Amino acid sequence: LVVKDCSKFVLVIWLWLAFILMQSYTASLSSILTVDQLEPTFADLKKLRTESHFVGFQSGSFVEDFLVKQLNFSRNQTRPLSNFGEYKEALSNGSRKGGVSAIFEEIPYIKVFLKKYSSKYTTAGPIYRTDGLGFAFAKDSPLVSHFSQAILLVRENQTRMDRIEKKYFGENVMTPTLARSISSESSSLRAYNFGGLFIIVGIATLLALLISERYIWQKPVSLVNKYLTSQKSPSNE
């Protein structure tokens, strides 16, 4: 039985710690077990188009015309978005709440977005090839040949391309499988996640120990007092 009040206090603190650890572990385990079952909400372009779902694109981008002219979306179905914050909010809300069901974007921007939000979103469907971007120079500019040669040298060196991609976009997060593995890693719990909790519990336990075990230093003092009293008694006689 727990008799001392300080002991009861320590017991309550440790039970509280055990409860928090158990709840955190359960939530983390559930997240890890279910993340492998996550699939894109819409993987079929036809379903997006025929069911009148809204789709997003970067404001001012050529993607809007591509959606309308090449993929046959109605212009009323497209929604311009300005930044990754709007991307996240629109996808979270969905078409029913004024958002979008999917976003069509250039691959570099998608990689940057998924690098930040890969635990909640992933890519789906085919990758569409477009004419891409180009450089504009004055007519007969000598820079044209230099730029063309430099671009060819970079594109022909896959190792250099991979190194540049990794430097600016991080690891490849384009596949749903890899995105889920990143989500699993980010959902895992480690000891340092509970560092503050353990410090609080440790301090509370130490204070309770110091208060409840005062006899550790009181007992020697009591023995000294008894010894001094016993030494004085014979002299008084």
Q: What pLDDT, in 10s, does the model give residues 112-155?
A: 888 888 778 888 878 887 776 778 888 888 898 888 888 888 88
pLDDT number for residue 1:
46
Q: Can you give the residue ranges of every domain in the chain?
A: 5-33+191-229, 36-187
pLDDT number for residue 20:
79
Note whether 112 and 84 are within 8 A (CB): yes
**Which residues fall within 8 angstroms of residue 38, CB to CB, at 6 or more apart?**
122, 180, 183
pTM of the model: 0.51
What are residue 79's phi and psi, to 5 degrees?
A: -130, 120
Sheet of 102-103, strand order: 78-81, 55-58, 102-103
**Which residues fall within 8 angstroms of residue 64, CB to CB, at 6 or more apart?**
57, 75, 78, 80
pLDDT number for residue 193:
64
Note whether 113 and 105 are within 8 A (CB): yes
pLDDT number for residue 117:
84
> Which segment, 8-22, 55-69, 133-147, 204-218, is predicted with the most confidence on average?
55-69
